[in-house]
Amino acid sequence: MSDNLQGAELLQFLQESSVEEIMAALKDIHPADILDALDDYTGDPIPFLSKLPIEILAEIIEEAEEEDKSEIFDLFSLDQKKEIISEMASDELVDLLENIDPEEVTDLIDSLDAEDAQNVKDLMRYDSETAGGIMATEFVTVKDHMTVRETLEYLQKYGEEAETLSYLYVLDENGVLKGVVSLKDIVIHKFTDAIAPLINASVISVKAGLDQEEVAQTIQKYGFTSIPVVDEQNKMLGIITADDLLDVVVDESTEDFEKMAAIAHSEGDYLDTGVFALARRRIFWLLFLMVSATFTSVIIQNYESALASVVILTAFIPMLMDTGGNAGSQSATLIIRGMALGEISIQDYFAVVFKEVRVSIIVGVVLAVVNFFRIWAFHHDIILALTVSLALIFTIILAKTVGATLPIVARKLKIDPAIMAAPVITTIVDALSLIVYFKLALVLYLPKGLPG
Amino acid sequence: MSDNLQGAELLQFLQESSVEEIMAALKDIHPADILDALDDYTGDPIPFLSKLPIEILAEIIEEAEEEDKSEIFDLFSLDQKKEIISEMASDELVDLLENIDPEEVTDLIDSLDAEDAQNVKDLMRYDSETAGGIMATEFVTVKDHMTVRETLEYLQKYGEEAETLSYLYVLDENGVLKGVVSLKDIVIHKFTDAIAPLINASVISVKAGLDQEEVAQTIQKYGFTSIPVVDEQNKMLGIITADDLLDVVVDESTEDFEKMAAIAHSEGDYLDTGVFALARRRIFWLLFLMVSATFTSVIIQNYESALASVVILTAFIPMLMDTGGNAGSQSATLIIRGMALGEISIQDYFAVVFKEVRVSIIVGVVLAVVNFFRIWAFHHDIILALTVSLALIFTIILAKTVGATLPIVARKLKIDPAIMAAPVITTIVDALSLIVYFKLALVLYLPKGLPG
């Protein structure tokens, strides 16, 4: 995939080469590959990390996973740390500062030059999961009276620090965002052309308080590679680039996968996480759900006498519960994912439930018919076949209604819909479907003399 | 979020304005917003779509969801279609052609100029979920002897058609990728500077056959906004941009969410999909899992006599099964997601299972202790408490081992690991845990005279 030095080879090169040799080879070394090599290395990495120039160290920390950033950073002395942060992009620096010893933060920020320090302080005020929390402040503004040549000369002077030059922004005297021009448009036009006709005055931007998931939806909808961030007065504050959002989208999906499987979210690769940490993330929900499942025991005990006389009824409890759980989980998953992607909102509640009820009738009838003939064929007991199959239809309708309702209710209550997934739905549907099953059994078996 | 015309307002404007008025306002109209407006519109959109210039129509189709592209395209006559495709980027055109009437495809391709036609034919040979299938062929190459000014003059001539100019590529006489230079680096240097020192000779690229998920992982790892695609001989074939991968990452996650909830994958928003289509996507797996759950009935029937004499045993079946299902689903989800993100591979099998067994012992013991005292307190039957709690530990160990094993086995067998999620794990673990439960009950209750 690349001609770069990677893995063990890269590690060996860094360990055995002089600073001069490393500097000469720097073009063949990507910070992301150094990170990969560090991941597999158990010794003290400082001897070879210190051979690298500060910009590369800054890049390594920028590209590290959220939870590894501070760990690598803390390997260095305070003076080295100050040098490293002076090379970091504002958005990355804020991510780092949020994860290190708070006592050190003030000291570090004060070492920056006044403007950068203010920038960082401003950025730290935003919630880290909003547009303001992930934006960078290094963007480039141009004036609408410039020519292509003037713009290029301006970039030669002021372009280097920018997070990206793909888009240049036009602001008025108050800093209000008035237009955007793409660098591509600039460079395909003649040096003497004015840039004014290339400027698009209706800029699509996001407000600083917008949730990062919605920023990703906006940038994805329009197919942008970056998007400007503004305050309530439309003053430009920063930019967010599509590659940063790739991380956001992946992280948000992972969090949803975990919540939907009743696992507490935490950063960190599976293989790097300890056994106790993994166990801790799972025990709470399992305990909660186990205790909730007590209701099913209580229900079964209430019908103990019925069960004692028709033990065969027990045989279908697992099938009913599994099918109910699966049917509910299908609905909950589609609704949770639809809400995460912005396709379904709270206002769609009635449309969703109406749709799920209709779907569940179709699905329920098909499954019940198959089930009816299967039980009839094997057990030659038409009442049993009827009891189980009717219970199955009710179970599926209940499961899909509960599965569609709970995620939307959660969103309404400002709880993450993802926790209303399979495990919670299953626990609720189990209890409901057992009641339906036993009630039906009592009614249908009664003429045959089942003790109530 | 934007000053653009949107929604009903945009629709009204398009319907009531003349072609001239629309042309004048074009800068305030984004194709993605026209798409949104179309989504809510039930009438015939052709009257106002025809007022739009061909480039905008091409962009609308480019930005439409996979399943809507051909629907919009088919609104137009063959001649209009030919005009539209001449304005489309190669990667987008291939996506479209894969979804329309095959008889029309040849006709349409033949209408392109010879080079574009060949490009499209070449691209259509790649699997649509690989790097080759999502790349665009519109990239710009430069020569290493150029100066900044020469490069910019070159872009003024040839840059317009490119998918992105963020990176320019250096190829040798055989088309082999030799270097890359970012446009940002070009524009921040003086006009008279040579570009040679700015060229990075160790380019990170992906092979055309690489799965799109792995392309996303590569681009995310390095934080690129685009990546070149090469063939086995390292000849450059095209580029992939980060915003296209945002779609890939979102789609792949959605597919995994659906598979993990036993739903057949299909494109299309939930709210736009019909009831029968939704039911069809769910019935197969529900039926399959329902019939598989028959094993649990058979097991219970085998222990019918035991159950008849100790009916209270039945009361804990749902709790055991739910906890086993949840525990297994936690493991399966972490492993499936870890594999999707490239963090866990087949080689990690033993490490993963060893870890899951240790985690499950911790989790199992904690849950069993809580459960033991709960049952003892409520039922005053220490044998019952012991039977259920021991069964619970075994169930959790079994569930987590099966949950960790099946996704990795699936990957080994080249099946998507995501189908080995909660529903399948639950069905298997249910059967296993019932056997353990009843065996334990027989052994522990035997001294008290339970009929075997």
Q: How far is residue A11 from each of residues A27, A41, A139, B201, B253, measured CA to CA in Å? A: 16, 8, 35, 21, 34
Q: Is residue B282 part of a domain?
A: no
Answer with the one of B221, B240, B259 that is the final residue of a domain. B240
3-state percent breakdown (helix, strand, coil) of chain A, nearest 5 = 65, 10, 25
Query: pLDDT at position B48, please?
Result: 81
Total domains in the fold of chain B: 3
CB contact under 8 A, A200 and B301: no
Q: Do B204 and A338 touch (CB under 8 A)?
A: no
Contacts of A434 in chain B (CB under 8 A): 318
Record: contact B359-A279, CB cut-off 8 A: yes
Beta pairing partners, B226: B241
Do residue B338 and residue A1 have CB atoms under 8 angstroms apart? no
> A401: domain range?
293-448
Task: Please check whether residue A429 lies inside any domain of the structure.
Answer: yes
Residues B109 and B29 in one domain: yes
**Rounded Cα distance, B145 and B107, in Å:** 42
Q: Are residues A300 and A387 in the same domain?
A: yes
Same domain, A101 and A155: no
User: Does B80 fall in a domain?
Assistant: yes
Q: Is residue B344 part of a domain?
A: yes
Instruction: State the smallest CA–CA distance between residue B238 and chain A in angstroms.
Output: 15
Q: Distance between CA A264 and CA B363 in Å, rounded?
A: 14
Q: Which residue of B has its CA nearest to A178?
A: B3
Spatial separation of the C-alpha atoms in residues B29 and B32, rounded to whole Å? 9
Query: From the CB of residue A219, how many other CB atoms can be counted at a distance below 10 Å?
Result: 25
Chain B residues with beta carbon closer than 8 angstroms to that of A362? 275-276, 279, 283
Give the per-residue pLDDT at A140.
92
How many angstroms separate the CA atoms of B21 and B11, rounded? Answer: 14
List the single best residue of B193, B281, B311, B381 to mutate versus A (max A Cβ within 10 A).
B311
Model confidence pLDDT, tens digit, residues A6-24? 777 888 888 888 888 888 7
Instruction: Tell me if A201 is assigned to some domain.
Output: yes
Angle between the N-to-C axes of helices A31-39 and A7-16, in degrees from 0 to 180, rounded to the nearest 10 = 100
Measured between CA atoms, the residue of chain B closest to residue A157 is B188
| Summary mean pLDDT of chain A | 86
Alpha helices in B341-421 (DSSP H): 349-379, 382-412
CA atoms in the 13 A half-sphere facing the CB of A358: 11
Range from A62-71, A83-92, A330-339, B384-393 carrying the lowest mean pLDDT: A62-71
Beta strands A226-230; A206-207: pairing state: parallel
Tokens (6 digits) for A230: 């503004």
Nearest to A315 among B243, B291, B300 (CB): B300
pLDDT at A372: 93
Residue A297 and residue A442 in one domain: yes
* One domain for residues A297 and A414: yes
Predicted pLDDT at B1: 45
Chain A closest-CA separation from residue B74 CA (Å): 22
Are residues A338 and B269, on separate chains, in Cβ contact within 8 Å? yes
One DSSP character per residue, B290-332 reads: HHHTHHHHHHHHHTHHHHHH-GGGGGGHHHHHHHHHHHHHHHH
Q: Between these two residues, A392 and A43, which has the higher pLDDT value?
A: A392
Q: Are B329 and A423 in contact (CB under 8 A)?
A: yes
Paired tokens of B106: 């040849």
Q: Which residues of A touch B219 (CB under 8 A)?
A: 243, 246
Within 8 A of A367 by CB-CB distance, chain B residues are 283, 286-287, 290
Tell me if A308 is assigned to some domain.
yes
pLDDT, tens digit, 9 for 90 and up, residues B24-55: 787 778 888 888 888 777 788 888 888 888 88
Q: Which residues contact B45 (CB under 8 A, 6 or more apart)?
A: B38, B75
pLDDT at residue B119 above 90? no
Angle at A204 between CA A203 and CA A207, to 5 degrees: 115
pLDDT at A210: 94
Contact A319 B304 (CB under 8 A): no
CA distance B222 to B215: 11
- Residues 6+ away with beta carbon under 8 Å from A42: none
Checking if the pLDDT of B397 tops 80, the result is yes
Residue A63 lies in a domain: yes
- Across A267-295, average pLDDT: 80
Question: Are residue A122 and residue A177 in the same domain, yes or no?
Answer: no
Cβ-Cβ contacts under 8 Å, B260 against chain A: 257, 333
Q: Are A387 and A308 contained in the same domain?
A: yes
Are B249 and A247 a contacting pair at CB < 8 A? no
Q: Are residues B179 and B326 in the same domain?
A: no
Same domain (yes/no): B127, B181: no
Tell me: pLDDT of A204 over 50: yes
Shortest alpha-carbon distance between residue A103 and chain B (Å): 31
So what's the pLDDT on residue B3? 56
Of B62, B269, B359, the CB nearest to A343: B269
The tokens describing B380, both together, are 């005053």
| CATH number (domain holding residue B406) | 1.10.357.20
Last residue of a domain, one of B134, B166, B197: B134
Domain end position, chosen among A103, A130, A157: A130
Tell me the ipTM for this assembly.
0.76
- Residues B158 and B119 placed together within one structural domain of the fold: no
CATH number at residue A65: 1.25.60.10
Q: pLDDT class for B71, splitting at 50, 70, 90?
A: confident
Determine which of B278, B288, B430, B434 to mutate to test the interface with A (most A C-beta atoms within 10 Å): B278
Across the interface, do B318 and A327 touch by the CB < 8 Å criterion? no
Length of chain A in residues, anyone? Answer: 452
Interchain contact, B314 vs A307, CB within 8 Å: yes
Give the CATH number for residue B214.
3.10.580.10
Distance from CA of A439 to the nearest CA of B (A): 16
* pLDDT above 90 as % of chain B: 27
Among B187, B203, B210, the residue with its CB nearest the CB of A183 is: B187
Strand order in the sheet with A226-230: A206-207, A226-230, A236-241
Whether residues A86 and A165 share a domain: the answer is no
Domain-embedded: residue A283: no
Low-confidence winner among A51-60, A127-136, B8-17, B344-353 (lowest mean pLDDT): B8-17
Are residues A99 and A187 located together in one domain of the fold?
no
Residue A226's H or E segment, with its range, is strand A226-230
Facing residues of A136 across strands? A239
pTM, two decimal places: 0.77
User: Does residue B198 register a pLDDT over 60?
Assistant: yes
Record: contact A28-B189, CB cut-off 8 A:
no
**Chain pair A-B, CB pairs under 8 angstroms:** 410
CA dihedral for B163, B246, B56, B208, sign (positive or negative): positive
CB contact (8 A) between residue B220 and residue A246: yes
Closest-CA residue of chain A to B209 = A1
